[in-house]
Structure 1
Amino acid sequence: MQYISELYNRGNYHQIISLEKQLDPHPTLLQYLSSSYANLGLFDEAIAILEDLLEKSHESSNISSIKANLAQLLLNKGKLAQAEKLALDAFNSSRDSLSKKSIISGILGNIYSKKGKYQQANSYYNQALPELNNSPKLHVLNNLITTQKLWIEELTQDIQWARLWNDKINDKTVAELSQQINKINQEHQKAVEQSLALSETLQGVDFLRTQILLKEQSKFSKNQLFLKVKELPLSLSKGELYLQLGRPQFALEVARKTQNKRLLSFALGALGKEFKAKGNLPRASTLFLEAQQTAMQIGAWDSLYLWQWESAKISLQQKDKEKALSSYINALKTLDRLRPELAEIRQQGQFTQDIEPLYLEALELGLQQAQSSTDLLKLKEILQQYQIALVENYFNAPCPLDLDSFNTLETGQAFVYFVSLPEQTYVILELPENNLSHYKLDLTQSELQKLATQWRSELKFEITEDYRKTANILYEKLISPLENQLAKNKIKTLFIQPSGVLQNLPFAALMSGETYLIEKFQLAFSLGLGQSNSIKIADTGKIFGLSTSSKADDVNWPDLPGVLQEVQQIQFLTNMEITINDSFTYENLLNSVSEEESISFLHLATHGRFGGNAEQSYLLTYDQKLSLSELETLLLKNNLPLNLLVLSGCETAVGNDRTILGMGGLSIRTGTNNVISTLWRVGDTDSADLTPHFYRFYQQEYPPIEALRKAQLAMLQSDNQHPYDWAGYVLLVP
């Protein structure tokens, strides 16, 4: 035992692994073995050892320690759901000392930080700190500091969106969000001071990690820190510190001496980026290739895709666009291997900085190069993969889909894919029988953002018609380039996949002269992952409404007196039972759907929000909030996929440019064929006018897409002609 401990402390991980078959199956020795594999980047082997040990150690006194270590390894692999379950089990069942339980709290903090649940992470870190000392305390402090920075970034982004749409985000005003940021900033500064002070007493690796993390507050220059790292004994940590300091050549030397291929792949790639920055593209290209080969040897896909991506950029600089596109596609294939792990990670910046740009760069190059329907079919596949990645990022969970099972377009239908890029907006038009074409639109991303924001603002003022001019400009930019093809092919139905700010755009109210787009076409938003609009009679359904305030929330939501009229009219039209106000409880809603009794539609008239991710999204019942995951569970209880879900609330889809992912993703994950919701706070009297029109047509066996169009056209012929009263209603299909 002591010999293995000494080998481990000296970093002789390969030697410990070479003794694996000779080791006694003692839990402590096996944990040393597992950690040795982990320190060499061989996480699968490390996890397998602890899983086997856990299975054989049901009555072991250190079972909570095994669970905690396994949770940390699963976290390193990105398997956050499994890691969370194990860590919570360890935390709740631990009979260890407070200091050991605090280590588990720290692991839970790491898990929730990675999941983007910064408030929960902050809470667990603060639970851990009082009982920890020295290195463990410093590690938790540094993780807390990083999490607080990410939390502040997220709240700052929320403020930007709240100002953009003149609205609340997650039920908080700009002033409330600013106040929250100030409080976190104060706590952040205290944590920084504690961390710097503690690191001074520890020196070594812990000291240097802290000084590099807090380099802006450190009294040491980058070069001084580099010289201190050079003095450290050979170890994996030394190589990682070199990388953090931007010294990949030295990290490369450590990787080779320690035979750590994971570190080697990252060091080679980082060195390649240095040569690329200096303009030495041939040398950079060679290093990126070596980094890829090394990563492939150990299945380090999170390293491999980065260097395939860099190879694509090199080829692009060398004007070899065909080779660049091939490298982009290889990088996306590698990224697809990581989908189960990446789906669980929603740390601020992880997706938008490290993943999403890869899809967008590949799409941009592909659109520039596309010359045939075959080329565009390949781009359509990338778009589908991108949408799946967006949905998984939104729900923080994998979304298994078969790309070959998606429905094909029928005669009279067309699919319009918008791709908004910084310098250019593109549109791909798909007609039946895989007939694809693409167009470069006269719009940059910033111009589109400005126009869309202006139009949304104009639509709010129902006493003016200022919106008409901007509605015509947007029609001219977005739809006019497609008109000849749409007319030639006698298209009557448009499935629209919006991009970025277009997700908050009421396409139905775009205008060509005096004619609205909804007067020309049936419209639905779609994620491009299969659409289903078969005619089904709404013979069985459930109707819920909340016209009074809810006891579930501290937000001062206004009453919705029009809801009572709305659900009573729907009851009259459908002959279905309604559940209203204090009967519309959380429990009654969950019990309303069962495997024994299938329903074809569910109507929920209540307040709710679809925010920037699933955690920020909910509906209100009379007594408590219904989370998006709980709504998903409810819909999955139905014996058959639901044909129609109507969320007739005041702001069931307001938030940011990814709220459509909530509704569309819900449709995909539950098999629901059609989801109707709103893009803004539709007045509840307007809702009481439009939804009965919709159900009147739906009961006449019109599919939802046609029933909604007819309802909106009926509103155009009524006293509620202004688009703010009817255009906010959108239909989403998968």
Structure 2
Amino acid sequence: MRSLILAVLLFFLSVGGVLFTTHVWASTAIVLTPQQPLQLVEQGKMLYQNRQFESALKVWEQVAAAFAARDDKLNQAMALSNLSLTAQQLGKWEQAKQAIATSLNILQTQPETSAKLQILSSTLDIQGQLQLAVGESQAALATWQQAAEIYQNIGNQNGAIRSQINQAQAMQDLGLYPRACKTLLKALELEHQKCQITKEQLQTLKERISNKKDSFSLDILALRSLGNVLRFVSQLEQSQMVLLTAGQLAQQSGDSQNFAAIYLSLGNIARALAIRKIQLETPRQQAVLTESLDCMQAAITANAAQLYQQATTCYRQAELSISSEIKRQAQLNRFSLLVQTQQWSEVPKLLSDIQTSFNNLPASHSTVYAEIKFAQSLMCLQSRLSENSSNNLSPILQLCSFTKNPPTSIGAKSLESATIPSWAKIGQILQTALNQAQQLGDKQAQADVRGYLGGIYQQMGKLAQAQQLTEQALQQKSAFNNSSITYLWQWQLGRIYQTQQDQKSALQAYTLAYETLQSLRQDLVGINPEIQFTFRDSVEPVYRELVNLLLQPVGSQQINQTEISQENLQKARDVIEALQLAELTNFFREACVTSQPQPIDQLDPNAAVIYSVILPNRLALILSRPQKPLKYHATPLVSDSQPGKTGEVERVFDDMFTSLNPYISDSNSLRAREILYEWLIRPVEAELQKDNVKTLVFVLDGVLRGVPMSALYDHQNQKYLIEKYNLALSPGLQLLYSRSLSPNKLQTLAGGLAEARQGFSKLPGVEEEVRDIAEIVPTEVLLNQEFTRKRIKEQIDNVPFPIVHLATHGQFSSQVENTFLLTWDGRINVKELDELLQARDRPGRSPLELLILSACQTAAGDQRAVLGLAGVAVRSGARSTLATLWSVQDESTVELMNKFYSELNQPGVTKAVALRTAQLFLLRSPKYRHPYYWAPFVLVGNWL
């Protein structure tokens, strides 16, 4: 009788960029041989399970030699695979590589028996783990795909699932998060066309797993990995739901190892939820901490401070793990959280514990990145203590984030007496990591460590060393297809050159950083899983600083220079557009523009585009007209003391909105709108008049996107901007092609919600608005109970409406989760719009020309909420979107919409002309002349 023994390490899980392993043994029998080899195999297995790796390694060497002496090739290959497995735990990478290579060479010479295939598949699993451990993620993915195929062929379903879980980890390392998500859903036998899971699916899966015996732990591993991937693709609530289910199953089965790792993951999701929530809370809310939350609690209504506390609780529980890897990762995550929330009292003790845990740690890919993570947290801590706010600091520090109002803090000065590593000491930690990466031959890790070391030297003012290390990092990165954080080192090099007053080299470095970001735009999450929360700090400045360089004449200190080359102006314009699209991609966490656009000058020769970009000390304008040179103007601004803040623009923005309240009488109510006119229109007004421009298209930046451009006021001629031009908003010079809406093609689907629903108030004017539209153009009406997701979809499936008009509550926000439309039976999130309107994309169906949202509003207090409006415009697929920046009176909206449709029903009238006419109709009405009533209506996209 012949039998085999398998030793397979199954699973890796990435948290915060650092890897740890969970070891699971799957055993079959061994070839019956004389007693001594059999006893040695059992001894080696026991020693490995007890983590006595040095002793286990010696035993596996004896086993391999014994089987070689007996010419037992299959068992020799098995022993060599286990030898490699054990050597990996000791960081003996060359021995591990040699052993696995010899094992595979032996197996290639053996006949295709079932026994051979079992050993081969497990050996490939071990080889994949080795490749991942030394940073060869692409090779590991290919190896595990090969193993999965063999497992399937021999009917080993559990082995196939293990390989799928491993493949998902390699995909995560490569930044392929959506693909990893679908792989894990497939492993769990769930629908995997989309990266999402419902509560119903999860409950069914939980019941199915609970009834299993042979693969119970395997399914928990898959769930845990899925929970982490969902966090990386911004499905935070789903991530928490999956991880809580995995935790319950692990608790039920007594799987303490998995349970500890799930605590770690739950800590990460609580932290991610806190970061997202803190963007929407007031400082007072952030500081309130009423109770501590249990780690296994969903905490749906918790505030940011409570979620941070929950994360801390989860990390503490994970630190109790018997796995040193999980314990160390939990410590690192809790340490970075203490720095972020500025809870200094716990820092010295945890700092000491982490430093101790690194002593005598075997070199590995995971160890190197653990040391990088530790160094990065220390850099954030040092930067906070030194409070150096120079713009020329390393971009690594852009990744640091600190809560504005920590719930508890003893003050940063209390750390002065503690042993906080200096910049030089942090450099020593990174030097150790570099030595280990070189020992491993891990080029990717070497590049990243050198980049961080360059940042350390930059902070220390040693620019020559900083430049050399950063250039070395970039040189090594160039050998890999995975761009990873390459842009960060290009950006760092650009700042070093700027400090050295080498503007030409700085511009080259910034251009490379920008190009790298553009190449990653399809999947920004591949740069950094947390990028969506830090986009304004860790990505956006690259675009702005590049524009700043492009619009700064070499050798000139004057702000408003017109002697900037057309080449630089064109590049600056392209970068501004790219920033707009990058923000939308980040908003959705996926590519958002897939149709082929057309240049404006091919659509409308009478239109001009005004680009604005807010720079540290000026507001820059670029005027673009068909077949004309670009024009540039800059207005000096008074900046706040904090870097990157342009307080003057935000103050004028706030003043403008105050002036738009019709119930507040203010003699200076026009002042803010006059200032904005002077900034955005006056510098280019002569050119507009000279070229007889009819339509102004604005590509606006930052808070300016929330400005109702129609209300800008020309005090010299005492006219609003809408009295002079047709107006539209756009994310860039490229637009989706649109056919003008002829009067005989105005078939409209009009839906509305007039009754109070789901906590929202009545909209009594909606019924009149919808019915009036039906009297002007052919209209299918869905009102109140009929206004459901199902009915909307049915109507769109049946008739290719060129216009969809939705008169309902809704909100635009800078958070995709808080951008929605209200129907009778629930909310339609902005990400679901394409599903609702997907019939427009069918072959032979005309596209949606115009989406009208007449009662939506931007989220209160969210200065970037217009991202949500642009998101709705993009997600709907509509060529044009007409929406409101705030919710206005029903009566005035009815009047405006009536006039808009009446004008649109006239031959040759474009959408922009129809909207302008309708706004002027209200402006000239004694009852609605105040901008509050007509200014919030904006046209986004194609205005024809």
Q: Is 1:415 the equivalent of 2:609?
A: yes
Query: How far 1:665 moved relative to its partner?
Result: 4.2
TM-aligned CA distance change 1:179 to 1:402, over 3 Å: closer
Q: Look up the match of 1:614.
A: 816
Partner SS state of residue 801, structure 2: coil
TM-aligned CA distance change 1:414 to 1:623, over 3 Å: same
Asked if the contact 2:738/2:879 (under 8 Å) is kept, the reply is: yes
Residue 10 (structure 1) aligned to one of 84, 87, 107: 87
TM-aligned CA distance change 1:673 to 1:138, over 3 Å: same
Asked if the contact 1:7/1:16 (under 8 Å) is kept, the reply is: yes
Query: How far 1:346 moved relative to its partner?
Result: 6.1
Query: How far 1:278 moved relative to its partner?
Result: 1.9
TM-aligned CA distance change 1:104 to 1:154, over 3 Å: same
Say which one has the larger Rg. Answer: 2
Deviates more, 1:530-539 or 1:325-334: 530-539
Q: Distance in 1 between matches of 2:444 and 2:363?
A: 16
Asked if the contact 1:8/1:16 (under 8 Å) is kept, the reply is: no
TM-aligned CA distance change 1:249 to 1:682, over 3 Å: same
Query: How far 1:227 moved relative to its partner?
Result: 4.7
Q: Look up the match of 2:409.
A: none
5 Å matches for 1:185-264?
A: 185-196=308-319, 198-199=320-321, 202=323, 204-215=324-335, 216=338, 217=346, 220=349, 222=351, 225-246=354-375, 247-264=429-446
Asked if the contact 1:654/1:679 (under 8 Å) is kept, the reply is: no
Given residue 270 of structure 2, which amino acid in structure 1 is its aligned partner? Q
Query: How far 1:530 moved relative to its partner?
Result: 1.8
5 Å matches for 1:28-177?
A: 28-54=122-148, 57-58=151-152, 60-62=156-158, 63-92=160-189, 97-130=215-248, 131=250, 133=255, 135-160=257-282
TM-aligned CA distance change 1:189 to 1:288, over 3 Å: closer
Asked if the contact 2:814/2:864 (under 8 Å) is kept, the reply is: yes
Q: Could you list the runs of 5+ residues in structure 1 that have no partner in the other structure?
A: 164-175
Q: Distance in 2 between matches of 1:205 and 1:248?
A: 19
Q: Look up the match of 1:283.
A: 465
TM-aligned CA distance change 1:185 to 1:312, over 3 Å: closer
What is the TM-score normalised by the length of structure 2? Answer: 0.71
Q: Distance in 1 between matches of 2:189 and 2:731?
A: 41
Given residue 748 of structure 2, which amino acid in structure 1 is its aligned partner? K
1:177-233 superposed Cα distances (whole Å, 9 cap, x missing partner): 98533553453343243234x05x55x444333333323446636466335413212
Asked if the contact 2:597/2:734 (under 8 Å) is kept, the reply is: no
Asked if the contact 2:100/2:123 (under 8 Å) is kept, the reply is: no
Asked if the contact 2:188/2:219 (under 8 Å) is kept, the reply is: yes
Partner SS state of residue 157, structure 2: coil
5 Å matches for 1:575-654?
A: 575-594=778-797, 597-638=799-840, 639-651=845-857
Q: Distance in 2 between matches of 1:708 and 1:162?
A: 41
TM-aligned CA distance change 1:650 to 1:339, over 3 Å: closer
Residue 376 (structure 1) aligned to one of 564, 569, 577: 569
Q: Distance in 1 between matches of 2:723 and 2:802?
A: 28
TM-aligned CA distance change 1:143 to 1:367, over 3 Å: farther
Q: Distance in 2 between matches of 1:570 and 1:511?
A: 31
Asked if the contact 2:830/2:875 (under 8 Å) is kept, the reply is: no
Given residue 299 of structure 1, which amino acid in structure 2 is its aligned partner? N
TM-aligned CA distance change 1:497 to 1:19, over 3 Å: farther
Q: Distance in 2 between matches of 1:620 and 1:517?
A: 33
Q: Look up the match of 1:489.
A: 691
Deviates more, 1:261-270 or 1:683-692: 683-692
Partner SS state of residue 651, structure 1: strand
Q: Look up the match of 2:673.
A: 471
Partner SS state of residue 611, structure 2: strand
TM-aligned CA distance change 1:474 to 1:691, over 3 Å: same
Query: How far 1:140 moved relative to its partner?
Result: 2.8
Given residue 60 of structure 1, which amino acid in structure 2 is its aligned partner? N
Percent of aligned pairs with the same amino acid: 27
5 Å matches for 1:556-571?
A: 556-571=759-774
Residue 357 (structure 1) aligned to one of 541, 547, 551: 541
Asked if the contact 1:377/1:436 (under 8 Å) is kept, the reply is: yes
Q: Look up the match of 2:9.
A: none
Q: Look up the match of 1:717.
A: 924
TM-aligned CA distance change 1:597 to 1:232, over 3 Å: same
Q: Look up the match of 1:704.
A: 911
Asked if the contact 2:232/2:525 (under 8 Å) is kept, the reply is: no
Asked if the contact 1:40/1:262 (under 8 Å) is kept, the reply is: no
Q: Distance in 1 between matches of 2:937 and 2:589?
A: 27
Partner SS state of residue 297, structure 1: coil
Q: Could you list the runs of 5+ residues in structure 2 that have no partner in the other structure?
A: 1-77, 108-115, 191-208, 286-298, 339-345, 376-428, 554-562, 640-645
1:514-563 superposed Cα distances (whole Å, 9 cap, x missing partner): 31111111111100052356532151423333243466x4xx11111101
What is the TM-score normalised by the length of structure 1? Answer: 0.90
Given residue 527 of structure 1, which amino acid in structure 2 is its aligned partner? P
TM-aligned CA distance change 1:14 to 1:492, over 3 Å: farther
Given residue 211 of structure 1, which amino acid in structure 2 is its aligned partner? Q
Given residue 711 of structure 2, which amino acid in structure 1 is its aligned partner? A
Query: How far 1:297 moved relative to its partner?
Result: 1.7
TM-aligned CA distance change 1:32 to 1:400, over 3 Å: farther
Q: Distance in 2 between matches of 1:567 and 1:277?
A: 62
Q: Look up the match of 2:634.
A: 440
Query: How far 1:292 moved relative to its partner?
Result: 1.1
Asked if the contact 1:78/1:342 (under 8 Å) is kept, the reply is: no
Q: Distance in 2 between matches of 1:53 and 1:696?
A: 66
TM-aligned CA distance change 1:136 to 1:359, over 3 Å: farther
Asked if the contact 2:121/2:150 (under 8 Å) is kept, the reply is: no
Partner SS state of residue 721, structure 1: coil
Q: Distance in 2 between matches of 1:590 and 1:720?
A: 36
Query: How far 1:34 moved relative to its partner?
Result: 2.3
Partner SS state of residue 929, structure 2: coil
Query: How far 1:404 moved relative to its partner?
Result: 8.2
Partner SS state of residue 559, structure 1: coil
Q: Is 1:316 the equivalent of 2:517?
A: no
Query: How far 1:471 moved relative to its partner?
Result: 1.5
TM-aligned CA distance change 1:125 to 1:691, over 3 Å: same
Given residue 658 of structure 2, which amino acid in structure 1 is its aligned partner? S
Partner SS state of residue 349, structure 1: helix
Query: How far 1:44 moved relative to its partner?
Result: 2.4
Deviates more, 1:723-732 or 1:71-80: 71-80
Given residue 7 of structure 1, which amino acid in structure 2 is its aligned partner? S
Query: How far 1:356 moved relative to its partner?
Result: 1.8
Q: Is 1:726 the equivalent of 2:941?
A: no
1:300-346 superposed Cα distances (whole Å, 9 cap, x missing partner): 41132222221111111111111111111112222233233315756
TM-aligned CA distance change 1:230 to 1:489, over 3 Å: same
Asked if the contact 2:585/2:591 (under 8 Å) is kept, the reply is: yes
Partner SS state of residue 742, structure 2: coil
1:256-300 superposed Cα distances (whole Å, 9 cap, x missing partner): 101111111111111111222222222221111111121122334
Deviates more, 1:21-30 or 1:145-154: 21-30
Q: Distance in 1 between matches of 2:173 and 2:617?
A: 36
Q: Look up the match of 1:171.
A: none
Deviates more, 1:698-707 or 1:403-412: 403-412
5 Å matches for 1:505-516?
A: 505-513=707-715, 514-516=718-720
Given residue 742 of structure 2, which amino acid in structure 1 is its aligned partner? I
Deviates more, 1:414-423 or 1:127-136: 127-136
Query: How far 1:614 moved relative to its partner?
Result: 3.1
